[in-house]
Amino acid sequence: MTDRKIVVPGELLTDQRKKLGEHVFVDEGMVYADSLGLAEQDSDGVRVIPLQGRYMPQAEDLIVGIIAREEFSGYIVDINSFYYSFVRKDNLRKPLEKGTVISAKITSVNEINEAELDQIRVFYDGEVLDVSPVKVPRIIGKKGSMLEVLTKGTGSSIMAGRNGRVWIKDGNTALLKKAIKKIEDEAHLSNLTVRITEFIEREKKQALKAK
Amino acid sequence: MAEEMTYVNSDGLRLDGRKVDELREIKITPSVLSRAEGSCYMEWGQNKVLVGVYGPREALPQHIQDPTKALVSFIYRMATFSVSERKNPRPGRREIEISKVCGEALEAAIFLERFPNTTIDIYTHIFDSNAGTRVTALAAAAVALADAGIPMKDMVSSCAVGRAGGNIVLDLNKYEEDAPDAVDMPMAIMPRKKEVVLLQMDGLMEKKQWFEAFNLGVQGCMSVYEMQKDALKKRYLEIEKDAMQEIEKAGAKMDKAAKEGEPQ
């Protein structure tokens, strides 16, 4: 049984030896939380899911970036992290314009958190939403379950980047924005997918009634 | 002023009706600024402080960057209207000193080495003051840092302790600070290990009295810590409560629908 509770930095999680997850640290054999978050603990592991915080680039992350400027051999991309990243022109088929939305995979991150990008995909039209980076996993859901609910419910195309940017296009974007706001607000609660499904249905019914 | 003022009366009460080991009323509201990464508004008695945390973000100009750790820039400013006579808005000797000591106190708590070449900017503004603004600013800054999701070894809790009219009192107000024999000792600790991160003292004290004051101060910091914790958790617990009510409502609706469906 996993035990969940809200913790503040420096709060004691356990005095037993357990597998350490993210956002915990060990001091004199005790395990403490290092940020404000939701502590999850079971018989063998302990971790803290943060409720706030900036995006820390990590290898294998899929991110949504925006072209900031062009240089001779490539483009400078704003990835909502500490630094801009660089995309070489020979990885691209067509030249890009400033402000173009792209998605990319981070191949590696160095010791000062600069990220290298690969697998560039370009997105046309649509809009980009800014969300809290720590809440993106909830927007994606377990194996993409939440994304499925959102795309089916609103008929939009969605690309959720781990860096806190969500690209959306077509469909009922107003409802989608409402749903994403709700996910962000209630990210620390369980059974969220079920609740969002209900929420989208309810909103749709209300919209029908208003007509 | 009367020759001999009594700072603690025969009932053990102070000028403003507090006991010797009682703090002023403290109100903490995190997340008040939408453009800041983390923020906090705090009222501590008459003191009113607003704190905004920005970062970690790239430190500029480049030559101030440290590739081994993040920098903390703590800025303490008093509004011109925060004191009875207009304060010159230019940062003075006192404000620069407070910015330095409070920044260093927070540096001890933050995992700086995780954010190389960056800076964490903490802006604290005092809107109203009545003794003890630096501890108010520091306690509020710790809450704002946690609210920004910055990884920390521990919170930082602070309070002032001192002497007025021969009595050791917790959390002095302006009258007590102006007593002829006053000693004012602002302090901050990291509550987990009770490690001291800020300790200053104005005035002279005997060794025995100092230890008495110090222990009282630690006690005060611990009660501030509890309030900081509660304030940070409160928002999320409230959302949880609302969501639970929503679920119950939906459940009741379903029960009702099921009951109505039964006769058919």
- Cα Rg for chain A, rounded, in angstroms? 20
The predicted pLDDT at position B261 comes to: 59
DSSP at A22: T
Decide if B191 and A10 are in contact by the 8 Å CB cutoff. Answer: yes
In what helix (H) or strand (E) does residue A115 lie, and over which residues does it extend? strand A115-123
Please report residues of B whose CB lies closer than 8 A to that of A83. Answer: 58
B149 closest CB neighbour out of A10, A35, A82:
A35
CA distance to A83, B110, B118, B143, B203, per residue, from B70 (Å): 14, 9, 5, 19, 35
Residue A209 has a pLDDT of: 87
| CATH code of the domain containing A187 | 3.30.1370.10
Give the pairing type, strands A74-78 and B26-30. unpaired
How far apart are alpha carbons A150 and A148 in whole angstroms?
5
Assigned domain for A178 exists: yes
Contact: A10, B250; criterion CB under 8 Å? no
Whether the CB of B118 is below 8 Å from some CB of chain A: the reply is yes
Answer yes or no: do A19 and A70 share one domain. no
Whole-angstrom distance, CA of residue B109 vs CA of residue B75:
17
pTM (two decimals): 0.90
pLDDT of residue B254: 66
How many helices (H) and strands (E) chain A has is answered by 4, 15
Same domain, A119 and A142: no
Residue A23 in any domain: the answer is yes
A-contacting residues in B 68-107 (Cβ below 8 Å): none
Q: Give domain status of residue A56, yes or no.
A: no
pLDDT of residue A210: 84
For residue A55, is it within any domain?
no
B37 interfaces chain A, CB cutoff of 8 Å = yes
State the ipTM, two decimals: 0.88
What six digits make up the tokens of B187?
Answer: 């302090």
Q: What's the pLDDT score for residue A1?
A: 52
Q: Are B18 and B176 in contact (CB under 8 A)?
A: no
Chain B CB contacts of A50 under 8 Å are 149
Quick: pLDDT tens for A17-50.
999 999 999 999 999 999 999 999 988 899 999 9
Tokens of A135: 């809440």
Residue B219: which of B30, B21, B47, B83 has the closest Cα?
B21
Q: What is the pLDDT of residue B264?
A: 43
Closest Cβ opposite residue B232 in set A25, A36, A134: A36
CATH no. for residue A26?
2.40.50.100
Residue A73 lies inside a defined structural domain of this protein: yes
**Residue of chain A whose alpha carbon sits nearest to that of B246:** A195
Pick from A9, A53, A198: CB nearest B155:
A9
Contact call for B115 and A113, based on CB within 8 A: yes
A134 is a domain residue: yes
Between chains, do A9 and B149 touch, taking CB under 8 Å as contact? no
In angstroms, how far is CA A200 from the centroid of its own chain? 21
Is the Cβ of B180 closer than 8 Å to some Cβ of chain A?
Answer: no
Our count of domains for chain A comes to 3
Low-confidence ranges of chain A (pLDDT < 70): 1-2
Cis omega (within 30 of 0) for bond into B263:
no
Residue A87 lies in a domain: yes
Range of the domain at A7: 3-50
Q: Which of B158, B169, B157, B173 is nearest to B205 (CA)?
A: B169
Find the residue in B nearest to A83 (Cα). Answer: B58
**Residues A146 and A195 placed together within one structural domain of the fold:** yes
In a shared domain, residues A149 and A189: yes
Backbone dihedral angles phi then psi of residue B85, each to the nearest 5 degrees: -105, 140
Evaluate whether residue A57 is within a structural domain. Answer: no
Strands (E), B129-242: 157-164, 167-170, 183-190, 195-199
Q: What is the CATH number of the domain that holds A71?
A: 2.40.50.140
Amino acid B78: pLDDT: 96
Identify all chain A residues contacting B233, using CB atoms and an 8 Å cutoff: 6, 8
Residue B79 has what pLDDT? 96
Low-confidence ranges of chain B (pLDDT < 70): 1-3, 251, 253-255, 257-264
The domain locations on chain B are 26-261
Q: Are residues A10 and A79 in the same domain?
A: no
User: What pLDDT is attached to residue B257?
Assistant: 67
| B244 to chain A, closest Cα gap in Å | 10
Chain B nearest-CA distance from A27, in A, is 9
Tell me phi and psi for residue B154, to 5 degrees: -170, 165
- What does the pLDDT read at residue B48? 97
Residue-level pLDDT at B53: 97
Check the CA dihedral A54-A59-A63-A66 and report its sign. positive
B26-261 topology per CATH: Ribosomal Protein S5; domain 2 (3.30.230)
